[in-house]
C-alpha cells in the first residue's frame, strides 16, 4: 500500500514538473520566431516591446501558429508578451540580423503572420 501511494505521489510530482506551456516556440533563427498556441487559447493579444520599453506591436492573434519577423528591425533585444485571460507568457528575442537590413530603405517594421 505504501508503494502504491508513493508511486502515485511521485507520478503527480513528475506530471507537474513536465506540464505543457500554453505557448511554445517551434523555431527561431536570426530574425524570425515561430510560436504555437494551445487549443484553449482564443484571441490572444501579442505585444512586442523594445529594450527601452517602447511598445512596437499590439495585435490580436486569431490563429494557432504565428510567425514574427524582425528582419527590418535593428539588431537588439525584443520582449514578446502573449496574454489571453489569466494566461500570460513572456519571451525574449535577440534579433541578430545585420543592421543594414533595417537601413536598406525598407520600412522599419515587424511582420506578424501565420
Task: Name 47's bridge partners.
Answer: 58, 81
| pTM of the shown model | 0.74
Nearest to 67 by CA among 93, 85, 41, 88: 93
Q: pLDDT tens-digit profile of 25-71?
A: 888 888 899 999 998 888 899 999 999 999 999 999 988 999 999 88
| Structure-block grid coordinates of residue 30 | 536570426
Note the pLDDT of residue 6. Answer: 44
Q: Give the residue ranges of DSSP H helices in the chain.
A: 2-17, 99-102
For the 21-113 domain, the top CATH level (class) is mainly beta
Q: Where are the domains of the chain?
A: 21-113
Q: pLDDT tens-digit profile of 72-83?
A: 888 889 999 999
Amino acid at each position: 500500500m505504501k508503494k502504491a501511494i508513493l508511486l502515485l505521489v511521485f507520478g503527480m510530482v513528475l506530471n507537474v514538473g513536465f506540464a505543457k506551456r500554453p505557448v511554445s516556440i517551434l523555431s527561431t533563427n536570426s530574425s524570425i520566431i515561430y510560436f504555437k498556441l494551445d487549443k484553449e487559447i482564443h484571441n490572444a493579444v501579442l505585444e512586442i516591446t523594445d529594450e527601452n520599453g517602447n511598445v512596437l506591436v499590439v495585435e490580436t492573434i486569431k490563429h494557432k501558429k504565428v510567425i514574427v519577423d524582425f528582419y527590418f528591425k535593428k539588431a537588439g533585444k525584443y520582449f514578446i508578451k502573449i496574454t489571453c485571460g489569466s494566461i500570460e507568457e513572456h519571451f525574449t528575442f535577440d534579433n541578430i540580423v545585420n543592421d543594414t537590413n533595417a537601413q536598406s530603405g525598407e520600412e522599419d517594421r515587424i511582420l506578424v503572420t501565420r
